[in-house]
């Protein structure tokens, strides 16, 4: 009802694969109903998977479930050999898959091969429609794969996803994963509530009324907010009650009252079974219910049948289940708290007898039962299992939950904190994780090893959130506590990057880089050595040392970097940025092309924004300004979920607006944008966008407000002095020289120009050298 346009649009999209469609809406809005209606009308093959609200840690679980359901259509001879990477995860399909390839040593490469394997199997099953429901409960690996699939579509495959709308300020792994993809790669379809006409038609059909009273329709709309599931449940109850709904004050118009009315005729034994079913989940298992309540299966079956007749459950083909999670939650909340805790404990005790132990479910039920020690034991086991399966983000999410247990013994907290520090941070809700890590690090009794690992994780998270100086400082604090050289070396390599924070001189960065090289040599770890060599090349590019090019050439020809395509892609893009800072657009173009090709090859969607940002920076440097502001505006909008790239993108946009402004209104827009970037860059201590924005602001205000221009340029020069890379101040010094010459006092800028000249002497900095030549025309030596 009320979804004809959405069904038609969805069908048009699905009938023109490849495509990826995200159907969003709040609980009860009709997402599942919509896609069920679609599949019922759609010919061809359907692959269907549904995420569980308490899944066991198994990467790509919902996708593997969907593939299992179509295993009879797989032909091993027609599937790409890379699909063999799925054989260990789908042993029951061994005959339908190629042989498993030997394992890879690089986890990122292994993950990418697994993604290619899933895509290969989906290609073998296409043409088809892949429907994955309730993606708000999906594991991080599944979300990352769907981001990969959005930019590496499978011919003939239409992908339809359903998920709950993210509340303001919140996020889920699936939304974060798709936010990193290009806007054209995903079609989003948001479902809203029913309007008054839809509610009127639904009331007319359900209550068998030709023209439902306006007051009834208004009351329904007001009390149900137009949520289709709630409207339907209320109307079904009104139809069953009979009488005049507007003349009876006891008529239930909210879901809780509807379900109370349905529960009323059920006897106490049936209510007890239904309450236990709500504790167990959406689709309660009759065997477990019988064991939990000490009843035989026939008694449980009779109770569920009675609940079905009362309209509380429905037949799902494989058993009885609640009509919706909203209904299950209401029934759950009606069970007294003490009874709920007892039921959760009983469910956990029953599940303990199962092999293999369902540790994620056990953790869930013990936590709800208030049994902290048992919860921690199983959450740690679930984290260990996730780590074993290569899903560090899920491991970290379980470990993060254990940190909230107040009665956790200190040795256990330390052990779990150390594991949390070693887990990957990608996929975690950082807004949730950062305060937990900060509380842990505030404990002076935290052992040194855990302090180092957790401080490093916190620093990386803060940097990803765009908090440049806070993140840098946390990593600085963590380094002395990192015992293993293989862990210390990459952390020091991060601190060697000069273009990140204010308040650190280039000599500090060079010292950090030397310390990183020593740690890498002591570690004997090729990965640590590679990370440090990449950082050394980046640092030399920024200081204008030509030795950078020999390192870059050597690394790009090495097997070590070739075997790590993601690190290779990130390195090329970072080097391209550094090359642009120096003023080598041709080399930047080549590095960008290599980085872009590697991102395309690996499907590493997290780097898409960096690829686009580098492309746009290159266009600005080359003077290709047509349409650039519009492209940068789109990048800024898409980077909102990636704060680490957002400020640089905003600085680029504001700079372009300043360069292309043709009248006072446009200049004011650019001035406001630059001031906002300056304020935010000062707040987070990010030096490169701060110097860039101050220099652009100085240039913009030079003609009409020379004193203000000098003030901005002087601040930029002061910041660069503190960094010690004078080439970065070239534009600011040129503004000072032009302002002094225009005022008839070129000597006023002599000190700044000489400082620039000395600072870039012997450096590979063509952009700064060009600015210096112009300065010397205005301010002779």
Instruction: Kindly report which listed range (147-151, 278-282, 390-394, 437-441) carries the lowest average pLDDT score.
Output: 390-394
Beta carbons within 8 Å of 650's beta carbon, 6+ residues apart:
636, 673, 676, 677, 680, 689
- For residue 332, name the pLDDT band (cuts at 50, 70, 90): very high
Collapse the DSSP code of 108 into the 3-class scheme (helix H, G, I; strand E, B; otherwise coil) and give the result: helix
Please tell me the predicted confidence (pLDDT) of residue 429. Answer: 60
Please tell me the predicted confidence (pLDDT) of residue 180. Answer: 77
- For residue 522, name the pLDDT band (cuts at 50, 70, 90): very high
Please tell me the predicted confidence (pLDDT) of residue 238. Answer: 85
Q: What is the pLDDT of residues 550-604, one digit of tens each?
A: 999 999 999 999 988 889 999 999 999 999 999 999 999 999 999 999 988 877 7
Which helix or strand (DSSP H or E) is residue 695 part of?
A: helix 687-701
- For residue 424, name the pLDDT band (cuts at 50, 70, 90): low
Is residue 474 over pLDDT 90?
A: yes
Cα(242)–Cα(198) distance, rounded to whole angstroms?
A: 22
Report DSSP state, residue 128.
E
Q: Which residue has the higher pLDDT, 111 or 279?
A: 279
Cα(396)–Cα(165) distance, rounded to whole angstroms?
A: 24
C-alpha 736 chain-centroid distance: 43
Beta carbons within 8 Å of 334's beta carbon, 6+ residues apart:
259, 260, 263, 275
pTM here is 0.76
Is residue 88 over pLDDT 80?
A: yes
Please tell me the predicted confidence (pLDDT) of residue 540. Answer: 97
- For residue 428, name the pLDDT band (cuts at 50, 70, 90): low
Please tell me the predicted confidence (pLDDT) of residue 594. Answer: 96
CB 658 within 8 Å of CB 670:
yes
Please tell me the predicted confidence (pLDDT) of residue 236. Answer: 87
Beta carbons within 8 Å of 117's beta carbon, 6+ residues apart:
82, 83, 84, 85, 86
Cα(655)–Cα(660) distance, rounded to whole angstroms?
A: 9
Is residue 124 over pLDDT 90?
A: yes
Which percentage of the chain shows pLDDT scores above 70? 96
Beta carbons within 8 Å of 3's beta carbon, 6+ residues apart:
30, 33, 34, 37, 191
Signed CA dihedral, 652, 430, 526, 86: sign only: negative
Please tell me the predicted confidence (pLDDT) of residue 388. Answer: 85
Please tell me the predicted confidence (pLDDT) of residue 490. Answer: 95
Is residue 264 over pLDDT 80?
A: yes
- For residue 479, name the pLDDT band (cuts at 50, 70, 90): very high
Please tell me the predicted confidence (pLDDT) of residue 103. Answer: 84
C-alpha 27 chain-centroid distance: 21
Cα atoms found within 13 Å of the Cα of residue 409, Cβ hemisphere only: 6
Q: What is the pLDDT of residues 630-678, one digit of tens each?
A: 988 888 876 655 676 788 888 998 999 999 988 889 999 999 999 999 9
CB 737 within 8 Å of CB 699:
no
Instruction: Kindly report which listed range (119-133, 140-154, 511-525, 700-714) carries the lowest average pLDDT score.
Output: 140-154
Please tell me the predicted confidence (pLDDT) of residue 250. Answer: 62
Beta carbons within 8 Å of 574's beta carbon, 6+ residues apart:
534, 538
Highest-confidence range of 413-417, 432-436, 764-768, by mean pLDDT? 764-768
Cα(478)–Cα(455) distance, rounded to whole angstroms?
A: 5
Cα(171)–Cα(431) distance, rounded to whole angstroms?
A: 9
Strands 157-164 and 128-133 turn out to be parallel
Q: Which residue has the higher pLDDT, 727 or 254?
A: 727
Mean pLDDT of the chain: 90
Average pLDDT value for residue range 76-101: 86
Q: What is the pLDDT of residues 173-223, one digit of tens each?
A: 898 888 878 778 899 999 999 999 999 999 999 988 889 999 889 888 888
Highest-confidence range of 42-46, 76-80, 182-186, 487-491, by mean pLDDT? 487-491
C-alpha 625 chain-centroid distance: 31
Average pLDDT value for residue range 387-403: 85
Is residue 762 over pLDDT 90?
A: yes
Q: Which residue has the higher pLDDT, 550 or 427?
A: 550
- For residue 257, name the pLDDT band (cuts at 50, 70, 90): confident
Is residue 232 over pLDDT 80?
A: yes
Beta carbons within 8 Å of 327's beta carbon, 6+ residues apart:
233, 255, 259, 312
Cα(427)–Cα(441) distance, rounded to whole angstroms?
A: 22
Cα(746)–Cα(661) distance, rounded to whole angstroms?
A: 28
Is residue 509 over pLDDT 70?
A: yes
Q: What is the pLDDT of residues 667-691, one digit of tens each?
A: 999 999 999 999 999 999 999 999 9
Average pLDDT value for residue range 32-48: 92
Is residue 288 over pLDDT 60?
A: yes
Please tell me the predicted confidence (pLDDT) of residue 649. Answer: 87
Beta carbons within 8 Å of 361's beta carbon, 6+ residues apart:
54, 56, 351
């Amino acid at each position: 009802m009320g979804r004809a346009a959405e069904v038609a649009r969805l069908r048009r999209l699905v009938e023109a694969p490849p495509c990826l469609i995200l159907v969003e809406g709040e609980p009860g809005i009709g997402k599942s109903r919509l896609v069920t209606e679609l599949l019922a009308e759609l010919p061809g093959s359907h692959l269907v998977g549904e995420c569980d609200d308490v899944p066991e840690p198994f990467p790509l679980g919902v996708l593997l479930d969907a593939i299992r359901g179509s295993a009879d259509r797989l032909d091993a001879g027609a599937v790409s050999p890379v699909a063999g990477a799925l054989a260990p995860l789908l042993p029951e399909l061994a005959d339908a898959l190629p042989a498993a390839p030997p394992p890879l040593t690089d986890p990122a490469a292994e993950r990418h091969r697994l993604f290619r394997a899933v895509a290969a199997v989906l290609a073998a099953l296409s043409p088809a429609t892949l429907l994955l429901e309730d993606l708000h409960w999906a594991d991080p690996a599944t979300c990352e794969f769907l981001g990969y699939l959005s930019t590496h579509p499978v011919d003939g495959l239409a992908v339809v996803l359903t998920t709950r709308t993210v509340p303001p300020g919140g996020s889920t792994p699936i939304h974060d994963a798709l936010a990193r993809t290009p806007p054209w790669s995903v079609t989003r379809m948001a479902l809203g509530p029913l309007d008054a006409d839809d509610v009127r038609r639904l009331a007319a059909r359900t209550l068998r009324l030709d023209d439902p009273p306006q007051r009834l329709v208004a009351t329904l709309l007001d009390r149900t907010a137009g949520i289709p599931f709630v409207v339907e449940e209320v109307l079904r109850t009104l139809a069953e009650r009979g009488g005049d709904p507007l003349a009876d004050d006891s008529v239930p118009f909210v879901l809780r009252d509807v379900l109370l009315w349905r529960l009323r005729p059920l006897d106490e034994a049936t209510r007890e079974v239904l309450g236990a079913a709500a504790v167990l989940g959406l689709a309660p298992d009759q065997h477990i219910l019988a064991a939990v309540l000490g009843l035989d299966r026939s008694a449980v079956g009779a109770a569920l049948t009675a609940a079905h007749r009362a309209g509380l459950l429905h037949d799902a083909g494989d058993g009885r289940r609640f009509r919706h999670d909203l209904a299950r939650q209401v029934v759950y909340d009606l069970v007294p708290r003490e009874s709920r805790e007892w039921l959760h404990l009983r469910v956990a005790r029953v599940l303990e007898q199962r092999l293999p132990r369902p540790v994620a479910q056990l953790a869930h039920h013990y936590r709800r039962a208030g049994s902290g020690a048992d919860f921690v034991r199983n959450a740690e086991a679930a984290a260990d299992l996730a780590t074993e399966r290569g899903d560090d983000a899920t491991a970290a999410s379980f470990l993060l939950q254990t940190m909230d247990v107040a009665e956790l013994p200190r040795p256990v907290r330390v052990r779990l904190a150390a594991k949390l520090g070693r887990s990957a941070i990608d996929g975690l809700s950082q807004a949730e994780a950062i305060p937990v890590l900060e509380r842990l690090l505030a404990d002076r009794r935290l052992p040194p090893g855990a302090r180092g690992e957790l401080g490093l994780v916190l620093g990386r998270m803060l940097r990803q959130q765009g908090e440049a100086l806070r993140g840098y400082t946390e990593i600085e604090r963590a380094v002395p506590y990192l015992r293993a050289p293989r862990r210390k070396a990459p952390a020091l390599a991060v601190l060697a990057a000069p273009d990140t924070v204010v308040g650190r001189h280039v000599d500090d960065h060079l010292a950090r880089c030397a310390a990183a090289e020593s740690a890498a040599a002591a570690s004997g770890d090729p990965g640590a050595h590679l990370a440090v060599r990449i950082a050394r090349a980046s640092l030399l590019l920024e200081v204008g040392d030509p030795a950078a090019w020999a390192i870059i050439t050597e690394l790009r020809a090495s097997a070590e970097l070739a075997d790590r395509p993601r690190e290779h892609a990130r390195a090329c893009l970072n080097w391209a940025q550094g090359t642009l800072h120096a003023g080598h657009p041709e080399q930047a173009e080549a590095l960008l092309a290599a980085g872009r090709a590697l991102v395309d090859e690996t499907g590493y969607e997290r780097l898409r924004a960096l690829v686009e940002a580098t492309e746009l920076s290159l266009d600005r440097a080359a003077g290709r300004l047509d349409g650039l502001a519009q492209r940068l505006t789109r990048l800024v909008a898409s980077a909102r979920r990636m704060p680490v790239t957002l400020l640089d993108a905003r600085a680029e946009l504001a700079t372009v607006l300043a360069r292309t402004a043709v009248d006072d209104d446009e200049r004011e827009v650019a001035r406001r944008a630059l001031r906002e970037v300056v304020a935010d860059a000062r707040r987070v201590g990010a030096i490169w966008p701060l110097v860039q924005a101050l220099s652009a602001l100085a240039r913009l205000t030079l003609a009409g407000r020379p004193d203000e221009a000098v003030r901005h340029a002087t601040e930029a020069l002061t910041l660069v002095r503190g960094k010690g890379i004078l080439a970065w101040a070239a534009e600011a010094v040129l503004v000072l020289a032009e302002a002094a010459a225009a005022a008839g006092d070129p000597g006023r800028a002599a000190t700044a120009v000489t400082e620039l000249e000395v600072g870039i002497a012997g450096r590979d900095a063509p952009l700064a050298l060009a600015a210096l030549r112009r300065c010397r025309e205005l301010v002779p030596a």
